[in-house]
Amino acid sequence: MKCCAPNQTLIRPSSHPAAFNCPLPVSRSIWISLIEVTAVLALVLTGQAQSVAQTPAPAVPQVIVIGFVGGFISHDNPHHSEVQLAARLRQVCPSGVKVETFESYHKGKARKRVLSLLDTNHDGTLTLDEKQKARIIIYGHSWGGSAALAVARRLEKDGIPVLLTVQVDSISMFRKNDAVIPANVARAANFYQPHGLLHGQSEIRAADPARTRILGNFRFEYKTGSYSCEKYPWYDRVFVKAHTQIECDLRVWQQAESLIRSDLPPFLCGAGALARRSWRIQDPGHRTQTSADGIGELQNFHCAETRSRRGRAAI
User: Structural domains in the chain?
Assistant: 63-314 (3.40.50)
Q: Which percentage of the chain shows pLDDT scores above 70?
A: 65
Helical axes 81-92 vs 250-261, angle rounded to 10°: 40
The tens digit of pLDDT for each residue in 250-265 reads: 899 999 999 999 998 8
The tens digit of pLDDT for each residue in 3-30 reads: 444 444 444 444 444 444 545 455 666 6
pTM of the model: 0.70
Lowest mean pLDDT among 40-54, 176-190, 238-252, 287-301: 287-301
Are the CB atoms for 309 and 163 separated by under 8 Å?
Answer: no
Q: Would you give the end-to-end CA distance of the chain in angstroms? A: 88
| Enclosing H/E stretch for 206 | strand 205-206
Residue 39 has pLDDT above 90, yes or no: no
Are the CB atoms for 164 and 105 separated by under 8 Å?
Answer: no
Angle 304-306-310 from CA coordinates, rounded to 5° = 115
Any idea how long the chain is? 315
The tens digit of pLDDT for each residue in 89-144 reads: 999 988 889 999 999 999 999 999 999 999 988 888 899 999 989 999 999 999 99
Looking at residue 285, what is its pLDDT?
34
pLDDT mean over 161-189? 93
- Residue 118: strand pairing partners: none
Residue 286 has pLDDT above 50, yes or no: no
Other Cβ atoms within 10 Å of 261 Cβ, number: 23
